[in-house]
Each structure stands twice: as C-alpha cells, then as structure tokens.
Structure 1
Amino acid sequence: MVSTSITNLNLFKGVAYRQRCGYDLRSGAETTIKGFVLSQILEWLAFLSLILMLWQWVVARRFPLHQRVAVPWLALQPLAAERGLSTEAVAPSATLGRTRAFPPNALPFGLAQPPDEGWSPQGHPVLADQAPPVTLLKPLKGCDPATEACLRSWFVQQYPGRVQMLFAITSSDDPVRPVLERLLKEFADHDAQFMVCGPLSGTNAKVSKLAQLERLAKHDILVISDADVLVPPDFLVNIVAPLSEPQVGLVNCFYRQANPTTLAMQWEAVAINADFWSQVLQSQSLKPMDFALGAVMATRRGPLAAIGGFNALKDCLADDYQLGNRIARCGHRIVLSPVVVDCWAPRMDWAQVWQHQLRWARTIRVCAPAPYFFSILSNATLWPLLWLTANPSRRGLVFGLGCVLLRAVTALNLQSRLTQARARLKYAWLAGAKDLLQAAIWLGAFTGNRIQWRGQEMRLKRDGTLVKA
C-alpha cells in the first residue's frame, strides 16, 4: 500500500513537472495527427508526380518524332567513316525516321508526288521547283574531336536550293580556324566563308557574333546552329519547310546528347534524352510553344527585324528562349520539327556536369519562374520515396517502389525513342539518381544567381541578362 502511494505520488509529480516545463500532455496525439497529415500530403504529392510522369510519357509517345516532311535519305551509317566518326558512335543516328505521306497541297517546295510509307531510301522524288535559298549562321569557339564531323555534316546537306554558309570566330588563332580552312578548301564549290569578328558588342559572345554575321547574309531565311551540332543529310529540307507558311516565324527541333562517355554524362543524358524533350511536349500540350530550343533554329529576316535583330539579345543568357518568346509575342507561330539532331559535347566530369545543370536551372528559373517552381511536383522519385519514409507500410512500400520502377522504365523508353537505340538496362538506376540530384539543383536555382559560362563567372540578373561577376 505504501509503495502504491509512492508510485502515484511520483506519477503526479511527473505530470506536474512536465506541465511546469511547458510540455503538452496531448503531444503524443498531436504528433500522431501531424504525422498522419504529413503522410497524406506526401501521398497526394506522390500520386500527383505519378500522374504528371504518365502524362509526360503519353504526349511524348504521340509526337511524330523522327518523321520526315519531304523525302527519305540515305542512312548516316555509310557516312560515318567520311565524317571521321566510328560507326558505333553514329549508331543512334543511323536509323532515320520513316517518311510520312502528305496530301499534294501540303508538299513543301513543290514536290511532284507525295512519298508513300514503303518508299525505299534509294528512291528520290522529282522536285518541281527549287527550295528557297538559305543562309547558315554558325558562331564558333574552340575545337574538340567531334568539331570537324559536326561542321562537315552541314557541307554535305542534300538541299536542292542555294545555301550560304557563314562562320564566325573571335580570334585569328582560334583552334577551329585550321579545321574551317580545310573544309572550305575541300568544299570549294560551296558558298561558304568565315570571318574573324571585331570587338563584341554584348556579354553573350555567341549572339554578338551572330549580329556581325547577319550583315553578310544574302538570303531571307536564316538558320542558326550551335557549334557542337551534327545534322542528318535531309535536315535543311525539314527545318526550312514549315517557313513556307507566312504565320510561322521560327522553326526549331529537339536534340540529343550523342556521346555520354562518362557516368556523369550518362546521368545528364537522362535529363536531356528522356526528360527535357518530353517536358517540352507536355508544356506544348497546354499552350502554343512560345520559346525556342537553341541547337538549331530557322527564321526569316522579317520576324527577326520585328524584335530588334540579334542586337536585342546580345546580353541575354537564354538567347534561344528569348528569340522564340519575342517572335511569338509578335504574333508568329513557333513550330517544332520532328527531326532530331545530335549534340557532341566534350568529355565532362561530375563537377562540370553539375555546373552545366545548375546554369541551365537558373536560366529556366529566370525565364519561366512559376513553371520552374512547380516543376518539382513532377519529380516521380522524390515524392514516392518521401511518402515511403513517412509511411513505412506494405502499401507505402508497394506504391513507392512501384513508382520508382515505373519512372525507370518510362525514362528508358523515352531515351530509346529519342536516340533510336536499344535501352541500356544497366543505366536504369540513373533515372532515380537524376531525380534526387535534380531536387538539389532545383533548390540551387533559387539560392544564387552566379553561373559558370565558357570559363567565366557571370551574374544573372532578374531580366535574364548577364553581367560579369
């Protein structure tokens, strides 16, 4: 009886002590309620990310990727040796998409007859008239093992119209100059030249070079291309064809990372070859495209002049986004070509890939702050795993791991569709790793405005312009 009284006294003292110290006797119940609410929120976010991921996959599957608008062409495989690339390196580009059949009134450049689905690569249509003349503008800096092959792919275009090719470098001792001179000598019958630019007028060296090249352009249609882009032989026909419609102001296309030679580049390849192009199509399913992808863009002098020419973009980091956005705001339509080009990047380690992705994230955050902020909701690995952590039940385990597995499968499928290569199962885990690291990059996009660009540290202003840090 004495011991019972002592126990009751200790319990009473314990309760009184906890009250004096500010403890809430209901904290256990409140903790349970808070845990339940958190688990419910994470469950909703996990389901939302799953829906967004499947939506993204469906719209990507419906897009006529790799289809040609005019003629079939030779596969790239026989051209691999000529371009200085191994057949294995060119394999993702070797199988070109099939040509669609078009009604006669939709044929570009006056094709005499529409091709049919069974047309062999050896068959060529008769051109009733010539394609419009085109000027290619290509700013360059530096040289890597793939540069000559990328440049050569523009010289061997099977385009029936006239093509003027203009290249720009900033220094007479640029390593790419001997490559250019060699190609100009080899293709002496082409209308091609390079110029050493004078002082650059803006912080964006690429756009400053374009502004100087524009003055030398002879033709109305301008094609702008990055230095590391390798194109299939029928590319110009396909990228220029939509410009025959007056309301079209700019044509652009998807690109793929063609040479992920390191594990870091394989990780980035998930972002580019699986996620980026499908996210663009997801955005396009909500509203007309109002930006451009900068690997290759084709426009006319009229829409370009309406936005102030290249000089209006000389200080912008995302010059491709701004070019497309401003042309769209002038009332023109932005068209996405189903033809895909290859981007051959120099070998990069984890630090370089991280800086590249962080620069990309901060650029998108400045250009489209609200969409980028909400893009974290589509992270189909992060939210299921967080929900699994908060709800370690059989249901949570099945759903969480199921989402992660489905994410890996859809990523492999999207990569395979863009690259036209067989999915590599040993890299399936990279989709989840990409999502988790992407969450850190998403945070980094909002916690700084400094970027590393072409060996220089720059500061990104609120309006998307660059200043030296």
Structure 2
Amino acid sequence: MDRAHAMGRTGAIVAMAVTVLAVASAAIEVMRAELPGFSHLLFDSLAVLIGLCAVLGIIYTCTASALVGRFFAREVATPRDFPAITIAKPLHGDEWHLEEHLASFFEQDYPGQVQYLFGVHDARDESLNAIERLRVRYPDAHITVVADSRLYGPNRKIGNLVNMLEKAEHDVLCFADSDVLVDENYLRQVVGALQQPGVGLVTAVYRGLCAPGFWPRVASALTNYHFLPGVVTGLAIGRARPCFGQSIAMTREMLERIGGLAQFAHHLAEDHAIGEAVRRAGAVVSIPPILVRHACVENTFAQLFTHELRWSRTVRAADRSGHLGAVLMHPFALAMLAVALSGGAAPAWILAAVALCVRAWLIWRTDRATGDKFSGLLCLPLWEMVQFAIYVASFCSSGVVWRGTRFRVDRNGMLSPVHET
C-alpha cells in the first residue's frame, strides 16, 4: 500500500512538472504571437544558441558516462603498515540514523589502534545519547568526547574540530561528518592512499544515502547523477581541484605545516580551502576510487532547495569559472528552454529527447560503476529541472542559510553574518 501510494505521488509530481513545462511553452508561444517580427528573430536566435549549449551538454554527458566507469575501475592502494588513527567527528543534534552512521566507523577491518573523538559545542547536545549507546555496543573502543563552546569564526564545524584536536592522541587524523556511512575497508583504503609518495591529504567522493520519502530521493539523485559524474569528469580533464569535508585524512605534521584549522573558521567551503592549503604546501590531494555515503534527509521541497542552493553557492564561491561552465551539465533543461523559445520546433523536441536519453545512460553507467541499483527513472525530467533551477538561483544572490543563520559570502568564499533589521 505504501509503495502504491509513493508511486502515485511520484506520478502526480511528474505530471505536475510536465504541466508546468507545457504552460510555460504555451505562454512563450503567446508572447511570440503578440510581439513584432524582430522579436521572433530574437527568440529563434536564443533558441539556436541554447540548443547549441544543449548539444555541448550532451557531449559532456556522454564523456562523463565513460569516465565514471574508468574512475571506479582503478586499483586502491594497499597500506604498507597500519598506523594509529584518530577519527574526529563534529556532532550537532540527533540526526537521522546517527548511531548507525557512526557505528560504521567502529566496524572497520583495520588492525591499527583507533581513537574515536567526538565534539559538541554544548554538553547537553542530543547527539551524545548516541555516543553513550555506542560505548555499550563497543566496550573496548577508545572513545573521547569534547564539549567546548569556543568559536573562532562563523564556521561552527571548524570551531568544533579545533577544540576536539586538543585531545587527539594519534598522528594520522581522519575528519568525517556525522552523517557519513562507510564500508568496513574505509580506513584501509584511506591509509593506503595517504601512504603514497607526495600525498598530503586524502578525500573521497560520495553518493547520497536517502532517508524515507520522495524529496530525500530527489536530493540523493542530484548528488549521485550531477555532483558525482561532474567531479569525476573535472578530475579527468584536470579542471577540478576538490576536497570534500565528508571525508578528509591527513597527518598531524601536514596539518601543522599548513598552519592548523582555525584559519578556515571564516570560510564557507572550509574543505576546499583546506585542500588548496595542502596543494600550496607542495603536497598532493588524493581522491582514490572509493565511496562514502552522505545522508540526504530534506523531506520538503523548501528544505531540499535551501540545502542544495547553499551547496551550489559554495561551489560558486570556490570556483566561479568552473561553476559557470557547469551549465553544460544540464542538457535536458537547456533543450527544454530551446523548445519553449522556438515555439515547440521539432528539432528542439528531438534534442530534448536525446538529452533525456543520454542522461538516463549516465545514470545507468554511474550505478553500474558504483555497484548500486537504481529505481525511479520516471522522475528524471523532474530531477533535471529542479537541479537546473537551483543552478540558476545560485547566481542570483551571495547569501546562504546555514543551520538557521543567514550569511553573506564574498568573492573569496568568506562568511559574514547578515544582521536582520
């Protein structure tokens, strides 16, 4: 019954999206009829230009489909030895499946010593209930909790990590978000990559791990089929320089070499800034062919849009030219714009159909490369239009909302609170 209800709701949403597109196309057709001849030429010229962009987007999508398989087919480095590790996890609130996500770090096939270091700003934080249950489940685990309210800037995650690291006991440090789920070989793979010559930091790409509900599935799809292939393609062509806060591993020596974490307390994209600092120090940021899972829990469209918009503006702050070029990641939406501007011309509709097919091919290739089973292909047009709307909105303002607080982001990616009047 629940599945039937979900399928019915999915069909209704897809139908709504198609209706909106049809209404928009009809509105533009009315405008074309009412405007003078030169305006028709303008609309047709724009349709051709946007159609060319859609063609380039189709080429990009085919390229990404090939590259994503190649990326995950690479070998993962084997560790030479197994040094002691401190896993540092900043916590905030009782998140969805928090205990399960944290437990995946306790169930590692790793023979070295591991310190589990958890940090909160408030000793009454509800997340600590999960830590107490983990103490019972893993009585032999070395667990340390730090409750410290000190902040060093608007980025509370950095403040939490700085406070925690005062209690870190080992020289290999692994920072991982609280909503991340990993497999049992995670630490082996990370350490193996970190031990390669010239490597100063190891990070990992991620897929969405969706909570129950329609909108978490949409959020997961945006992560899996836009973010992930985009990163892989950017790496392959030498354009991307990422570092992902979901999983960062480095040595204490490297952290001291770049000047510590407190300097990043005013950054929106602190993970990107950390990666750039490591590169400036002459070391390599390694991204091995491993995956972690990042929870997608936005259960309303408003929550999804706000969260994805913050992420998109984070990318824009970190790499403005790359973010502008990312328009080619939206061939279906571009083709539908061409359909609307051309008054429903047949070539534009054909272009939209081709774009949708190659996007479906990319989804299949991505899932095959990562070993995941896909469902919900009927929602693909909706996913594409939602992602494009978020992308366009990312250019409209420099403001973001982070944990209920509104910030302004300057051209250097630095945060400053917006004081409401």
TM bucket by the smaller chain? 0.7 to 0.9
| Cα drift, residue 159 of structure 1 | 0.5
Q: Which residue of 2 aligns with 1:378?
A: 329
In structure 1, list runs of 5 or more residues that go unmatched: 1-26, 71-106, 110-129
Asked if 2 retains the 8 angstrom alpha-carbon contact of 1:416 and 1:423, the reply is no
Quick one: distance in 1 between partners of 2:156 and 2:231?
Answer: 26
Match for 1:398 among 314, 335, 350? Answer: 350
Alignment deviations for residues 63-86 of structure 1 (CA, whole Å, 9 cap, x no partner) = 125x7737xxxxxxxxxxxxxxxx
Quick one: distance in 1 between partners of 2:39 and 2:399?
Answer: 41
Alignment deviations for residues 355-395 of structure 1 (CA, whole Å, 9 cap, x no partner) = 00111111111111111112113311122223333174444
Q: Which residue of 2 aligns with 1:233?
A: 184
Q: Which deviates further from its counterpart, 275-284 or 389-398?
A: 389-398
Quick one: distance in 2 between partners of 1:397 and 1:154?
Answer: 48
Judging changes above 3 Å, is the alpha-carbon distance between structure 1 residues 393 and 354 closer, same or farther for their aligned structure 2 residues?
Answer: closer
Q: Which deviates further from its counterpart, 131-140 or 340-349?
A: 340-349
Quick one: distance in 2 between partners of 1:294 and 1:69?
Answer: 20
Quick one: distance in 2 between partners of 1:220 and 1:360?
Answer: 31
Quick one: distance in 1 between partners of 2:45 and 2:404?
Answer: 47
Correspondence 1:69 to 2:76: yes
Asked if 1 retains the 8 angstrom alpha-carbon contact of 2:64 and 2:362, the reply is no
Quick one: distance in 2 between partners of 1:38 and 1:358?
Answer: 26
Judging changes above 3 Å, is the alpha-carbon distance between structure 1 residues 379 and 289 closer, same or farther for their aligned structure 2 residues?
Answer: closer
* Structure 1 residues 255-270: aligned runs within 5 Å: 255-270=206-221
Quick one: distance in 2 between partners of 1:39 and 1:438?
Answer: 20
Quick one: distance in 2 between partners of 1:270 and 1:39?
Answer: 28
Q: Which residue of 2 aligns with 1:368?
A: 319
Q: Which residue of 1 aligns with 2:4?
A: none
Match for 1:59 among 48, 53, 67? Answer: 67
Amino acid of the structure 1 residue aligned with 2:50 = L
In structure 2, list runs of 5 or more residues that go unmatched: 1-35
Quick one: distance in 2 between partners of 1:272 and 1:246?
Answer: 31
Asked if 1 retains the 8 angstrom alpha-carbon contact of 2:69 and 2:365, the reply is no
Match for 1:40 among 35, 48, 63? Answer: 48
Q: Which residue of 2 aligns with 1:467?
A: 416
Judging changes above 3 Å, is the alpha-carbon distance between structure 1 residues 250 and 31 closer, same or farther for their aligned structure 2 residues?
Answer: same
Q: Which residue of 1 aligns with 2:113?
A: 162
Quick one: distance in 2 between partners of 1:34 and 1:203?
Answer: 46
- Where 1:37 maps in the other structure, the secondary structure is helix
| Cα drift, residue 332 of structure 1 | 1.0
Number of equivalent positions: 382
Provide the aligned C-alpha RMSD in A.
Answer: 2.2
Q: Which residue of 2 aligns with 1:213?
A: 164
| Cα drift, residue 44 of structure 1 | 1.6
Asked if 2 retains the 8 angstrom alpha-carbon contact of 1:68 and 1:238, the reply is no
| Cα drift, residue 281 of structure 1 | 0.9
Asked if 2 retains the 8 angstrom alpha-carbon contact of 1:184 and 1:192, the reply is yes
Which of structures 1 and 2 has the bigger CA Rg? Answer: 1
Judging changes above 3 Å, is the alpha-carbon distance between structure 1 residues 36 and 184 closer, same or farther for their aligned structure 2 residues?
Answer: closer
Match for 1:348 among 283, 288, 299? Answer: 299
Quick one: distance in 2 between partners of 1:379 and 1:279?
Answer: 11
Match for 2:398 among 449, 452, 463? Answer: 449
Q: Which deviates further from its counterpart, 198-207 or 232-241?
A: 198-207
* Structure 1 residues 146-225: aligned runs within 5 Å: 146-225=97-176
- Where 1:446 maps in the other structure, the secondary structure is coil
Quick one: distance in 1 between partners of 2:128 and 2:40?
Answer: 69
Alignment deviations for residues 294-351 of structure 1 (CA, whole Å, 9 cap, x no partner) = 1111111222222211111112121111111221122211111222122234352111
- Where 2:153 maps in the other structure, the secondary structure is coil
Judging changes above 3 Å, is the alpha-carbon distance between structure 1 residues 395 and 347 closer, same or farther for their aligned structure 2 residues?
Answer: closer
Quick one: distance in 2 between partners of 1:310 and 1:447?
Answer: 31
Alignment deviations for residues 6-43 of structure 1 (CA, whole Å, 9 cap, x no partner) = xxxxxxxxxxxxxxxxxxxxx74x56654553343233
Quick one: distance in 2 between partners of 1:449 and 1:36?
Answer: 32
Q: Which residue of 2 aligns with 1:422?
A: 373
Q: TM-score, normalised by structure 2?
A: 0.84
Judging changes above 3 Å, is the alpha-carbon distance between structure 1 residues 230 and 396 closer, same or farther for their aligned structure 2 residues?
Answer: closer
| Cα drift, residue 290 of structure 1 | 2.6
Quick one: distance in 2 between partners of 1:319 and 1:344?
Answer: 19
Asked if 2 retains the 8 angstrom alpha-carbon contact of 1:166 and 1:194, the reply is yes
Q: Which residue of 2 aligns with 1:277?
A: 228
- Where 2:48 maps in the other structure, the secondary structure is helix
Asked if 1 retains the 8 angstrom alpha-carbon contact of 2:226 and 2:329, the reply is no
Quick one: distance in 2 between partners of 1:198 and 1:394?
Answer: 61
Counting aligned pairs with the same residue, the percent is 26
| Cα drift, residue 413 of structure 1 | 3.8
Quick one: distance in 1 between partners of 2:45 and 2:95?
Answer: 54
Amino acid of the structure 2 residue aligned with 1:460 = V
Quick one: distance in 1 between partners of 2:264 and 2:56?
Answer: 37
Quick one: distance in 2 between partners of 1:38 and 1:176?
Answer: 52
| Cα drift, residue 164 of structure 1 | 1.5
Alignment deviations for residues 407-451 of structure 1 (CA, whole Å, 9 cap, x no partner) = 233224424543x33221xx2243322222233222321221222
Asked if 2 retains the 8 angstrom alpha-carbon contact of 1:144 and 1:346, the reply is no
Asked if 2 retains the 8 angstrom alpha-carbon contact of 1:407 and 1:432, the reply is no
| Cα drift, residue 272 of structure 1 | 0.5
Judging changes above 3 Å, is the alpha-carbon distance between structure 1 residues 168 and 38 closer, same or farther for their aligned structure 2 residues?
Answer: closer
Q: Which deviates further from its counterpart, 328-337 or 456-465?
A: 456-465
Correspondence 1:324 to 2:324: no
